[in-house]
Amino acid sequence: MYGDGVRSPLPVDRWHGRAEPAVAGLVDRCVGPTLDLGCGPGRFTVALAQAGLTAVGVDASAVAVRLTRARGAVALHRDLFAALPGEGRWAHAVLIDGNIGIGGDPVALLRRCRELLVPGGTVLVELEPPGAGLWQGQAQVAAAQRAGRLLLGPAFRWARLDVRAVHPVAEAAGLSVREVFRRGRRWFGELRSAR
C-alpha cells in the first residue's frame, strides 16, 4: 500500500515461478555480465544463467538470496548502494518487478546503476504504464487478517516511475533512454550509460 492511497497486489507466486514471457524476453537484451538488482527469489537471475550469461543477483533480504542460491544461481546479500564486486565492469543492470522504487529516489538509484556499468552499458527497468508519472513517498506491505483487518508492516521509502517520467529521471542520472517498449501488459525501458 502506497502513501498516496494506491494499492498494488504483490505477485509472490509469479516471483517464485519461472521467468514469465514478458520478463524472459529481456534476457535477449543482455549480452554480457548482468546484475539483477533486487533479485528476490531469483527467477530472472536463473534465466540469465541458463542463457549462459554471467549473472549475479543482489538483494537486501537474506531469505531472497537463499532462495536464489537454492535455484542454482549466484546471489549476494547486500545493499545495492554498498560496495559490489566488479563496479564499473557490468554490461547490464536490471530493475524489474517495480524495483525502480528501491530507496524512494529513482534518480539516485539510476545513478548507482550507472556507476556499476561499463561505458555504454544498459539498465533494463520495468516502468508503470503512461499516466502514472513519478511518485515518491512511503509504502507499507499489508497482509489480510481475520475479520477483514489489515496488518501493516513498517513504512519504507518507495517510488513509482512511468514511461514518460523516465526520460527526465534518466537524464538527471546521467543516462539516456534508448527505448521504451511493452511486453504484454508490462512496460520496460532500456537506458544507456554514456560514461
Tens-binned pLDDT, residue by residue, of the chain (195 aa): 666 777 776 666 766 677 777 777 899 999 999 999 999 999 999 999 999 999 999 999 999 999 999 999 999 999 999 999 999 999 999 999 999 999 999 999 999 999 999 999 999 999 999 999 999 999 888 887 767 777 788 888 999 999 999 999 999 999 999 999 999 999 999 999 976
Residue among 83, 37, 93 nearest 60 (CA): 37
The CATH number for 111's domain is 3.40.50.150
As a whole number of Å, the CA-based R_g of the chain is 16
Sign for the pseudo-dihedral over CA of 67, 39, 46, 41: positive
Give SS3 for 133: coil
> Is residue 167 in a domain?
yes
Give SS3 for 120: strand
Domain that holds residue 158: 12-193
> Is residue 26 in a domain?
yes
> Is residue 115 in a domain?
yes
> Is residue 169 in a domain?
yes
Q: Enter the DSSP assignment of 26.
A: G
Residue among 152, 135, 134, 133 nearest 143 (CA): 152
How many domains are contained in the chain? 1
> Is residue 175 in a domain?
yes
> Is residue 2 in a domain?
no
In this predicted structure, what is the pLDDT of residue 123?
99
Q: What pairing do the DSSP bridges indicate for beta strands 55-59 and 134-139?
A: unpaired
170 in Cβ contact with 114 (< 8 Å): no
> Is residue 84 in a domain?
yes
Alpha carbon 59 to chain centroid distance?
10
> Is residue 4 in a domain?
no
Q: In what order do the strands lie in the sheet with 55-59?
A: 74-77, 55-59, 34-37, 90-95, 117-127, 186-193, 175-183
